[in-house]
Structure 1
């Protein structure tokens, strides 16, 4: 799945890096107050609360409202955190509304209501006893590159709230220096955290209170999530059956390496859904500094060799390239688009299969399935989902052309599957 390696001039790379650094600076925490995780202990009318279990390999700090730094800890720490979300009339879906000053205004800002340290052995069972929904589904989120602890916590609270997912929300946050120039440190921190995440996943799967587990990971966090699953499969002979779905958003993964990771998961991997966007500027930088090999999160799933390989693997791909968002890097569309967040809650987090007839992204965003097929020749036919393209209204004037392309795609796919 790889491409030929090309030399990239350091001058061009330096210019691109500085450009992305400025983009990060524009959208980052420059105007945020320090210490937003200092709990108020107050519950406010008309707000909504998200109570989550936070597991981390970060080093703790005594600094008020910070909780954990970007450095590495020897042991896993568990914390229960309750985040308050402002009333719908005062916020935009898909956005984290950071306070401009403290104390935060719960009617307009995300605020921290409660923080409670939990014991490593008994804490998860106690927390799950209070927060497991009737469907017994758990959602575990792994954040991406350049995230502070509070960034990960507030973003996940936004995703859980806006998607209206009926889950027990758990987040795994790994040590990040929260700097665009800390790429290598962050990448090594994901490697450092693999065993801890694998252990967390195994403990969750072995807990009788848990029925099904969906893993959702973003950016560099996808490397950590897939590596943990790969390790589990090698160690245990398969990925735990309760881990039924994996959602990779803007995955910062070398496509060649992902192919090997996938193969290591054996004959019964979880169902994978991947969000890609070919205009992802953050992944463009990662590609350039990683030998110019495609990153999984910016492939075109309609072209070869990707289309055939994805079909054979049964991996669903959602192409968000034409979708516009407020993210200048086009790296966080999965969380910022109201329609995609709705899709997460209605279908993907619930572990359901996506088709062109039931995506239901509304009027502002449409979706078309690029065809479906079944592989033939094995004892049991394996249903495979082909990529799905998501496009905005500006592309609908090409709808007829898209339909014709779909017809050709279905014909070619069926012919290939039947050996014709």
Structure 2
């Protein structure tokens, strides 16, 4: 027994040491918890500014909700009103009908880092371009080939913080290559979605003050048409719904012949869209802006409406530098006037593209050209000579209507007014021609 006791004695001597270690461990745990609790109760740290978000409960608005915007009246805003910085667009866990605007489906807030975007313009579209692929949609799937029927959808276009009125800022190209797209420097497509015909009809059925439909001209890709529609609406401070019809232009400077054939092919699709808008749009005003060779597409659709005795309900019809043969214009004048409540035509004597078109087609004149004898006049169509704006603004893309502040201001007053105002009422600087008592058209003063 004595031997056993001495054998276990060393173990008994370790007990005090173990108690010390247990106490030290307890002290460390208490200190750690106290430190954690102290950190948790520190003063409030600065948080990133949360973007202002508009509610948009209607179906098919989720893509617009995730960017904190809504379509309809007041659909875009100057971002500087609400944030001090750039909205970083979500790439994963994007907002949906189940996720509130301004948050991803994971609950993460949309963050703000630096100034970049002035605003976002949602643009509905219909196109008779051939579109490949399934339900998802990318720009590379939209070609210049001609399709038998329309494809519908919407695109959201962001306006860069550096945007200047009348310009569409896109990446520059040099011997080094093409500049990379940046939100703060360039117009960008942030979202592109395809909709079924039924979904599109349901989406445009939501009440709005008005709807602006843009029909682009020659040498315009689908992307550029979306940019131009967004730019016109943004610069004109238009608050209604924006839509474009993109017919299959090849988008090349030397592809005029292909584009002209496409313009003759496209009226069926535009007529289909106009009927859909009339039936499902439920808007107070329908405004159609046709540019360049897109005017040929519009005239073809109006002819179909006349032959089928269909009422399209167009409130304002605007032709900007229309590339249509003068004789065809005079022949279709009655159909044009019958289709719209008011018609405005911008023409010029310095439009280089129309001069080239006249020479190529061996035409006496074009609908949007001003000869030495003046513009081609039709009673009931308000014609405005914008030659004084300057030939350098037309160049080969003849887009003075969307690059000149004077013209944009006038278009803005047309599309934003609840009633039609005659040219001198909305823009007093117009000069009556030939004089005030015998006015047949108007002119921007030199």
Q: TM-score by structure 1 length?
A: 0.71
CA shift in 2, pair 1:168/1:291, >3 Å: same
User: Which position in structure 2 is the counterpart of 1:332?
Assistant: 399
Q: Is this contact kept in 1: 2:201–2:276, CA < 8 A?
A: no
Q: Does 1:170 align with 2:243?
A: yes
**SS of alignment partner, residue 51 of structure 1:** strand
Q: Give how far 1:216 is off.
A: 0.4
Cα distance, 1:268–1:58 mapped onto 2, change above 3 Å: closer
Change (3 A) 1:268 1:225: closer
From 341, 359, 378, the counterpart of 2:427? 359
- Contact 2:423–2:430 (CA under 8 A) maintained in structure 1: no
Q: CA deviation at 1:373?
A: 7.2
1:81 aligns with 2:176: no
Are 2:120 and 1:66 equivalent residues in the alignment?
no
CA contact (8 A) 2:287 2:314 kept: yes
**1:115 has 2:192 as partner:** yes
Structure 2 CA distance, aligned partners of 1:112 and 1:330? Answer: 22
Deviation at 1:354, TM superposition (A): 2.5
Partner of 2:269: 196
2-structure distance, mates of 1:248, 1:43: 42
The equivalent of 1:281 in structure 2 is: 352
The higher radius of gyration belongs to: 2
Instruction: Give me the whole-angstrom Cα distance separating, in 2, the residues matched to 1:235 and 1:211.
Output: 24
Q: d(CA) in 2 for partners of 1:229 and 1:339?
A: 29
Alignment of 1:30-69 (within 5 A): 46-61=117-132, 65-69=139-143
Task: Please report how far the alpha carbon of residue 353 of structure 1 lies from its aligned counterpart in structure 2 after TM superposition.
Answer: 2.2
CA change 1:372–1:54 in 2 (3 A) is: farther
Of structures 1 and 2, the one scoring higher in RCO (CA 8 A, sep 6+) is 1
Q: Please state how far the C-alpha of 1:328 moved relative to its aligned partner.
A: 2.4
Deviation at 1:199, TM superposition (A): 1.1
- 1:369 equivalent in structure 2: 432
Secondary structure at the counterpart of residue 195 of structure 1: helix
* SS of match in other structure, 2:121: strand
* Correspondence 1:204-353 to 2 at 5 A: 204-207=277-280, 209-236=282-309, 239-240=311-312, 242-264=313-335, 269-300=340-371, 303=374, 306=376, 309-310=377-378, 313-324=379-390, 325-329=392-396, 331-348=398-415, 350=417, 352-353=420-421
Corresponding residue for residue 97 of structure 1: 169
State the Cα distance separating 1:206 from its structure 2 match.
Answer: 1.6
Partner of 1:156: 229
CA distance in 2, matches of 1:256, 1:39: 53
**Cα contact 2:289–2:318 (8 A) shared by 1:** yes
Give the superposed CA RMSD: 2.8
Aligned partner of residue 361 in structure 2, secondary structure: coil
Structure 1 contact 177–185 (Cα < 8 Å) conserved: yes
Distance 1:125 1:64, change over 3 A: closer
Deviations, residues 222-262 of structure 1 (Å, cap 9, x unaligned): 010121012102211x542x212110000001111111112
C-alpha spacing 1:296/1:267, structure 2 compared with 1 (3 Å): closer
- Distance in 2 separating the partners of 1:231 and 1:150: 28
Which of 261-270 and 315-324 deviates more?
A: 261-270
1:339 Cα offset (Å)? 2.3
Q: Quick one: distance in 2 between partners of 1:268 and 1:55? A: 20
| Mapped partners of 1:218, 1:228: distance in 2 | 15
Aligned-residue offset at 1:54: 1.1
- 1:291 Cα shift? 2.1
Q: Distance in 2 between matches of 1:330 and 1:368?
A: 26
Residues 43, 174 of structure 1: CA spacing in aligned structure 2 closer, same or farther, 3 A cutoff? Answer: farther
Secondary structure, aligned partner of 2:426: coil
* Unaligned stretches of 5+ residues in structure 1: 1-37, 361-365, 375-384, 396-420
**Displacement of 1:372 after TM fit?**
6.5
Q: Secondary structure at the match of 2:395?
A: coil
Give the SS at the match of 1:230: helix
How many residues align structurally? 327
